[in-house]
C-alpha cells in the first residue's frame, strides 16, 4: 500500500494530526513504510534546506531550460540554482495533493514562478508561501499567494539586493478547482481552490497548496 492509499484511510482529523505531529517528513515516511521524497533529494544535515545544484547535472539543466523559455532577456547572469528540501512543507503538500486528486479525480499540479525580494526568501524556505503577506506587492485578486507562468512577469516582483542579485522561486502549485479571477473578488467562490486571469497570473488560497521547489538567483 503506497503513501496516498494509507493517508486515504485516515479520517480528516487524523490527517491533520499526522501532519502536525510528524513535522520531519523522513520520520513520517519511516512510519508509513514508504518513501515519497523526490529521487533527487539528499539526506539533510543539521536541518539543511538549501542544496546547490551542479551545472553538469540533468536537474540543473532542466530547471535552466525551463527558466530560459520565459525570462526573455531579464537575466544577464545566472548565479545559482538551489533545490529546496523542507520535509515538513513537502509532507503537507503531498497530503493536499492526495485530497485534491480524491475530490477532483485528476492531477492539477503546475510549475509556476514567484518573484520576491531577498528578505522574503528565508521565510518562504522555512515556512512555505504565506498568503498573509498578500498585498505587499499587490493583491488584485484577493488575499492569496500569487504566481505566474512566465518568469519575466515574476521578475517584476523581484528587488535587487546590494549586489544586484534577484530571486525567483520555481514552485510546485496545486491549482485544484480553478475559477476565473476578477478584480472584485476577495476570495474564491465556495468549492474553488484557486483563480487565474487565464493568461499569466495564478492565485492560491489554501495552506499546503504550494511548495517552493527551486530558488533561482540571478542578475
pLDDT at 8: 52
Provide the domain count of the chain.
1
- Any idea what the CATH number is for the domain that residue 60 is in? 3.90.228.10
> Does the reported pTM lie above 0.75?
yes
Which one, of 144, 199, 138, lies nearest residue 173 by Cα?
144
Cell numbers placing 37:
521524497
Mean pLDDT of the chain: 85
Which one, of 81, 122, 110, lies nearest residue 215 by Cα?
81
pLDDT at 9: 57
Quick: pLDDT tens for 145-164: 999 999 999 999 999 999 99
Write out the residue range of the structural domain in which residue 32 sits. Answer: 3-218
Quick: pLDDT tens for 52-67: 999 999 999 999 999 9
Which one, of 25, 27, 47, lies nearest residue 38 by Cα?
25
- Tell me the mean pLDDT in the region 4-33: 50
- Tell me the mean pLDDT in the region 2-26: 52
Amino acid at each position: 500500500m503506497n503513501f496516498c492509499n494509507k493517508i486515504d484511510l485516515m479520517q480528516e482529523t487524523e490527517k491533520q494530526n499526522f501532519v502536525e505531529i510528524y513535522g520531519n517528513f523522513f520520520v513520517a515516511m519511516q512510519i508509513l513504510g514508504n518513501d515519497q521524497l523526490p529521487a533527487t533529494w539528499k539526506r539533510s544535515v543539521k536541518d539543511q534546506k538549501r542544496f546547490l545544484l551542479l551545472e553538469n547535472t540533468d536537474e540543473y539543466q532542466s530547471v535552466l531550460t525551463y527558466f530560459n523559455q520565459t525570462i526573455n532577456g531579464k537575466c544577464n547572469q545566472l548565479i545559482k540554482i538551489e533545490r529546496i528540501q523542507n520535509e515538513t512543507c513537502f509532507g503537507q503538500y503531498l497530503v493536499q495533493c492526495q485530497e485534491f486528486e480524491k475530490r477532483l479525480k485528476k492531477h492539477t499540479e503546475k510549475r509556476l514562478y514567484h518573484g520576491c525580494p531577498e528578505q522574503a526568501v528565508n521565510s518562504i524556505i522555512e515556512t512555505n508561501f504565506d498568503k498573509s503577506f498578500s498585498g505587499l506587492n499587490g493583491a488584485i485578486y484577493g488575499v492569496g499567494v500569487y504566481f505566474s507562468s512566465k518568469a519575466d512577469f515574476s521578475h517584476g516582483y523581484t528587488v535587487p539586493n546590494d549586489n544586484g542579485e534577484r530571486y525567483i522561486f520555481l514552485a510546485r502549485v496545486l491549482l485544484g478547482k480553478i475559477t476565473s479571477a476578477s478584480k472584485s473578488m476577495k476570495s474564491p467562490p465556495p468549492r474553488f481552490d484557486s483563480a487565474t486571469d487565464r493568461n499569466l497570473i495564478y492565485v492560491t488560497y489554501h495552506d499546503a497548496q504550494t511548495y517552493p521547489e527551486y530558488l533561482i538567483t540571478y542578475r
